[in-house]
Amino acid sequence: MAMATAQTGKGRSTIYYIVLWAVSLLFFLPVLWIAMTALKANTDILAVPPKIVFQPVLDHIKRVFDDPQTMPYFFNSVWLSIGSVIFAVGISFPAAYAFSRWKFPFTDFLMFLLLSTRMVPAAAAIIPVFQMFNAFGLRGRFGMFILYTSFSIPFSVWILKGFIDGVSERFDETAIVSGAGRMHVMFKVILPQVKPGVIAAFIFNLIFVWNEYIFNFVLGNAATQNIPFGLSVNLLDAGGNVDWGFVAAMSSMYVIVPMIVIFFFQKYLLVGMTFGTVRGDV
């Protein structure tokens, strides 16, 4: 049977692998189509019926790089996502360690609240934040930075606590008996053992902030507008005549980043997509 072969690990027939590849390609087809569109000349994009074979041109890709409007979007996406996620993981690790080692009576409740903040629809969460940001003049770099940091915290705490829980407290005790301080225990004893958790927290918050749209659209300003914002604006502005070549080029370049990330960090995908609550092999 299928599962027996799977378990004993014997090779499977070529046809089986071809079917799996076909399924994977089928899911990738829409993305491939956009990438192809990005490389088409305008007349080829608008051709009826659509051209499968065409002379590739780099015009649209060049335009994305040359457009003075677009590079700031890329730049903002990069610094906002990397900066806020490093900061969030940095403060979440001590908190996760504290939640794991000091069994405070309020731990479960706080962890529950943290997780539920990520279950609320963005449109609901944004209303009071919108008011608050207006009231305190927070719309801008600083505001978006702390907002994205707060987005990344729940997931980081959840995933890191899960990993730290898996490290025996004997490590802490041994180190403390031999005279080490808490900071030493945390960063020199525990941190090296939960590296996969740190990587997963980093990667998946990065993807999340990289993809975030609504908060950026409503609360951001020119100093924080990211690529999803740029995509939506470029699409809406053109009205009836959407500049498909430009949009396709920009979104293909944009999607490459998460793709590269999941290629190299595939084993973190599961833990990443489930808030660190499910671990295992895929």
SS3 content of the chain, % helix, strand, coil (to 5): 75, 0, 25
Longest dimension (CA), the chain: 76
Among 64, 147, 198, 249, binds other proteins (CB under 8 A): 147
Contact 219, 2 (CB under 8 A): no
What's the CA angle centered on 154, arms 153 and 158, to 5 degrees? 115
Nearer to other proteins, 29 or 222 (CB): 29
Taking contact as CB under 8 A, which single stretch among the options 22-30, 59-67, 68-76, 187-195 is the one that binds other proteins?
Answer: 22-30
Residues 92-131, mask of contacts with other proteins (x by CB under 8 A): x-xx-xxx-xxxx-----x-xxxxxx-xxxxxxxxxxxxx
Among 30, 68, 137, 240, binds other proteins (CB under 8 A): 30
Backbone angles phi and psi of 240, in degrees to 5:
-70, -30
Contact 219, 129 (CB under 8 A): yes
What is the closest distance, in whole angstroms, from the C-beta atom of residue 115 to other proteins in the complex? 5
CA dihedral 171, 173, 179, 182 (to 10 degrees): 80
Taking contact as CB under 8 A, which single stretch among the options 61-69, 175-183, 187-195 is the one that binds other proteins?
Answer: 175-183
What is the closest distance, in whole angstroms, from the C-beta atom of residue 16 to other proteins in the complex? 8
Range 75-94, binding other proteins (CB under 8 A) = 91-92, 94
Cis geometry, peptide bond prior to residue 49 (ω within 30 degrees of 0): yes
Range 178-217, binding other proteins (CB under 8 A) = 182, 186, 207, 210-214
Nearer to other proteins, 25 or 58 (CB): 25
Nearer to other proteins, 74 or 97 (CB): 97
Among 39, 85, 157, 198, binds other proteins (CB under 8 A): 157
Positive or negative: CA dihedral 206, 208, 211, 216: negative
Count other C-beta atoms under 10 Å from residue 212's C-beta: 22
Distance CA 261, CA 209 (A): 14
Range 234-263, binding other proteins (CB under 8 A) = 235, 242, 244, 247-248, 251, 254-255, 258-259, 261-263
Q: Helices marked H in 13-69 — which ranges?
A: 14-38, 42-45, 59-66
Taking contact as CB under 8 A, which single stretch among the options 56-64, 68-76, 192-200, 226-234 is the one that binds other proteins?
Answer: 226-234
Nearer to other proteins, 194 or 261 (CB): 261
> Which residue from 207, 197, 98, 113 is spatially nearest to 152, judged by alpha carbons?
207
Nearer to other proteins, 46 or 223 (CB): 46
Residue 57 is which amino acid?
A: V
Nearer to other proteins, 57 or 270 (CB): 270
What is the closest distance, in whole angstroms, from the C-beta atom of residue 233 to other proteins in the complex? 10
Residue 6 is which amino acid?
A: A
Range 51-70, binding other proteins (CB under 8 A) = none
Instruction: Decide: helix, strand or coil at residue 179.
Output: coil
Taking contact as CB under 8 A, which single stretch among the options 57-65, 66-74, 146-154, 192-200 is the one that binds other proteins?
Answer: 146-154
